[in-house]
Chain A
Amino acid sequence: MTDGEIVAALLARDESALDELREKYGGKLCAIAFGILGDRETAEECVNDAYFAAWNAVPPHEPTEYLPAFLAKLVRSAAINRIKAGAAAKRSAEFTELSKELESCLPAPYSTETEVESRELIRTVSSFLRGISTEKRAVFVRRYWYMEPLKTIALNCGMTQSKVKSMLFRVRNELRQYLEKEGHLL
């Protein structure tokens, strides 16, 4: 089935769409959840949560053109919820560490009073990431979106860990400056 056919099946409330999702994206989604949580059983639970969320979200969403990323977002969200609920204690510390690193990007004090403001902030972050090199963008996304360990990123992109750390440091600084320039200041 193509992504379009899977989405059409979801829109038609055809449960075979879920089997297709498992078949086509199950492995990748499990890998994302496992990368964030570090626990296979909890990761599988998250993936099942994501299928359920997809079932509920389509419609109104029709992610025909971006189904893999749509599912990945659902899995990430489910995995973070597990961390917040304390189901992945081992990764809680790492999540906190990454959060602290990212907090340095936010002009302090920073507040988003509404969901609209929060979305606007993330839209600006997306815009910033599109404007930097593919290499920097990939490293940033791998680290802060997929929460991959530095060593994994270094191995996969043929860099040393030092270079990855240094690159992340620079991108965070650039992001902070970009957010300030774009008026994300209180």
Chain B
Amino acid sequence: MNGNEFMEALTELDSDVIDTELPKKSRKSKSVLRWIAAAACLLIVLGSVTAYAESKKMETKKIKTVTESGFTIRVDLDKIRQKELSGLTDIPEKIAEQIKNHVPQPVHSSVFIDPRTVTEIYPGIAEAIQRIGYDKICAPQLPPCGGHPSDLGFSDIHGITHYDGSEVLLTVRGSDAGRILSVTISYDDISSETDHINMQPNIIVITDSYNGKELELSSFWPNERGWETDIEHRTTQNGLDFELLTIDGVDNGRRGGLDGYVSNGSVLYTLHLSYELENSERAMEIMLAWADSIR
């Protein structure tokens, strides 16, 4: 019996089986967007964080189409005062020193070093959070990580050559005047479990030195037909807004992606997961556990 014959024979399945009703589930909101692209996975471009007018009010996160080649996530975050970053008091001085000693790179150089940015490496997320000294940042739950060479390209951006992916990067961006504008904790890793789910978590805060209202994250997103994005708005167990993007059709339908955005007011947590299709359920478990652990 071949597949065609099996399909045909299935006609004679028992009547009660055929009549099985689909269980209905509610979804708070849903929209389907189609994108055209060549990129292999979602990568949040933290370097493109921009800001607009003054605002202290935390609103919901908005995901908005901007161009055919991608979309933009806009997040209204509470801005914090620089002095609340009690562990980073030495950073303005470091930035001033870097600006003073900066040697511009050749125009065609692939290495971009921004003298207003300070990047440090820590063995784990707890150490990075401790360094910042802002007590509203928590370490979201993630499964154990195995570590692999980074896909994020930080070595090119910040001249770091020994980052191996299992360590945590702390990136502080400042202004020409040495004021801290944003702080990001990030790493790029693969779950050490057998499901090989690639995880890219980030934690972001912005300060009142930003002249803007919204945090704007640009994503590299697909540009090819067949890639689809489901966007759901959820609420975590701790009552926080949670935007969940599901990406289908990656790598000729063999891979999928999940992107989560959770904010507790002044801190934005993002998580990108990329996985083989058979690991979809496990990826969703990781995503939901991550979101629910944020407080």
Contacts and interface: CB of A to CB of B under 8 A. Distances in A.
Interface string B6-27: 1111111111111111111111
Contacts of B6: 99, 102-103, 105-106
B23 A122 contact: no
Contact of B277 (A69, A84, A130, A166): A166
A2 interface: no
Given A141-B18, A162-B246, A169-B277, A73 B1 contact: no
Given A100-B3, A126-B13, A138 B20 contact: yes
Contacts of B8: 77, 80
Interface residues of B, number: 40
B280 A166 contact: yes
Given A73-B18, A122-B12, A169-B278, A160 B7 contact: no
A162 B17 contact: no
B139 interface: no
A73 B22 contact: no
Contacts of B14: 123, 126, 130
A55 B268 CA distance: 65
A100 B7 CA distance: 9
Interface residues of A, number: 55
Contacts of A122: 9-10, 12-13
A174 to B, nearest CB: 13
Nearest to A119: B12
A12 B176 CA distance: 93
A129 B15 CA distance: 12
Interface string A72-112: 11001100100010000000000110111111011000111
Contacts of A72: 18
A158 B27 contact: yes
A153 B14 CA distance: 21
Interface of B: 1-27, 228, 230, 246-248, 253, 256, 277-281, 284
Given A95-B7, A158-B27, 19 more contacts: A69-B19, A77-B11, A99-B3, A102-B3, A121-B9, A122-B9, A122-B10, A122-B12, A123-B14, A135-B22, A138-B23, A141-B20, A144-B7, A156-B22, A158-B25, A160-B230, A160-B246, A161-B248, A165-B280
6 contacts: A77-B8, A103-B2, A110-B1, A121-B9, A156-B24, A167-B281
